Amino acid sequence: MPSLESLGERKIIEIIWKQLNVMPNLPLGFGDDVSAVSLGKDELLVIKTDMLVDKTDVPRGMSLWQAARKAVVMNISDFAAKGVKPVALLVALGIPQKFTAKDIEQIGKGLNSGAREYGAYILGGDTNEASDLVICCALFGTCSASLLMKREGAEPGDILAVTGEFGKTAAGLKILLENLPVPSEVENPLLDAVFMPKARLKEGLALAVSRAVNAAIDSSDGLAWSLHELSKASHVGFIVERLPTAPEAVKFAEIHGLSHAELCLYGGEEYELVLAIKPELWDEALDAVKKAGGSLIRIGKAVKERGVWLKTDKGAEPIEPRGWEHFQSCTGETRG
Touching a copy of itself, residues 141-160 (CB under 8 A): 142
Among 41, 42, 44, 50, binds a copy of itself (CB under 8 A): 50
DSSP-derived secondary structure letter, 21: P
Cβ-based nearer residue to a copy of itself, 72 or 263:
72
Contact call for residue 130 and a copy of itself (CB under 8 A): yes
Among 105, 254, 320, 333, binds a copy of itself (CB under 8 A): 105
Site string for a copy of itself, 3-22 (x = CB under 8 A): xxx-x-x-xxx-xxxxxxxx
Among 84, 134, 191, 201, binds a copy of itself (CB under 8 A): 134
Per DSSP, the residues of 275-296 read EEE-GGGHHHHHHHHHHTT---
Task: Please check whether residue 124 is in contact with residue 90, taking contact to mean a CB–CB distance below 8 angstroms.
Answer: yes
DSSP-derived secondary structure letter, 273: E
Contact call for residue 138 and a copy of itself (CB under 8 A): yes
What SS3 class is residue 206?
helix
d(Cα 268, Cα 61) in Å, to the nearest integer?
Answer: 18
Give the pairing type, strands 237-240 and 307-312.
parallel
Question: In the complex, what is the shortest distance from the CB of residue 10 to a copy of itself, in angstroms, rounded to a whole number?
Answer: 9
Contact call for residue 56 and a copy of itself (CB under 8 A): yes
Question: In the complex, what is the shortest distance from the CB of residue 68 to a copy of itself, in angstroms, rounded to a whole number?
Answer: 10
Contact call for residue 305 and a copy of itself (CB under 8 A): no
Instruction: Give me the sign of the Cα torsion angle 180, 193, 75, 95.
Output: positive
Among 1, 41, 146, 184, binds a copy of itself (CB under 8 A): 1
Q: Which of 198, 173, 335 is nearest to 272 (CA)?
A: 198
Q: Find the binding residues for a copy of itself in span 66-95 (CB under 8 A).
A: 87-88, 90-95
